């Protein structure tokens, strides 16, 4: 029996993007893409990198599918899925000072 909260089962979905913003319509599309990700539970990691904590690979696949559905017509978008264990090995700095990773909010399961 495997642990449901295993750091190898819990996933993070990261979306990297570089979208055009030259015209008003381009800016509107880019803004809509970001708002759609926020509505789907993603949070901003950096301006053009958003991330989402998922309880399993199957749950991550649902959010990846939604992101693909909302892709803008122009620009470059990359989607990467990593385990919680891999995410936990990331080193983050503000200037020269290391910043500790914030633990994800505890997810409640009803079944």
Measure the CA–CA gap between 4 and 6, rounded to whole angstroms.
6
65-88: average pLDDT: 95
Q: Which residue has the higher pLDDT, 94 or 10?
A: 10
Average pLDDT value over all residues in the chain: 88
Residue 15, judged by CB atoms within 10 A of its CB (0-12, 13-18, 19+), counts as: buried
CATH number of the structural domain 11-89:
3.30.70.240
Q: What is the pLDDT of residue 52?
A: 96
Measure the CA–CA gap between 32 and 38, rounded to whole angstroms.
10
pTM: 0.81
- The answer to which of 4-13, 72-81, 83-92 has the lowest mean pLDDT is 4-13
Q: What is the pLDDT of residue 62?
A: 97
Judge whether residue 70 has pLDDT over 60: yes
Per 3-state DSSP, what percentage of the chain is helix, strand, and coil (rounded to 5)?
Answer: 30, 30, 40
């Amino acid at each position: 029996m495997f642990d449901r909260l295993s750091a190898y089962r819990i996933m993070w979905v990261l979306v990297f993007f570089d979208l055009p913003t030259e015209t008003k319509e381009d800016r509107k599309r880019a803004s809509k893409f970001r708002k759609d990700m926020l509505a789907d539970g993603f949070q901003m990691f950096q301006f053009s990198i958003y991330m989402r904590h998922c309880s399993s690979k199957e749950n991550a696949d649902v959010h990846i599918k939604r992101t693909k559905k909302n892709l803008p017509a122009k620009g470059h978008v990359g989607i990467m899925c990593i385990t919680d264990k891999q995410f936990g090995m990331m080193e983050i700095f503000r200037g020269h000072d290391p910043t500790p990773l914030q633990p994800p909010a505890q997810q409640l399961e009803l079944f």
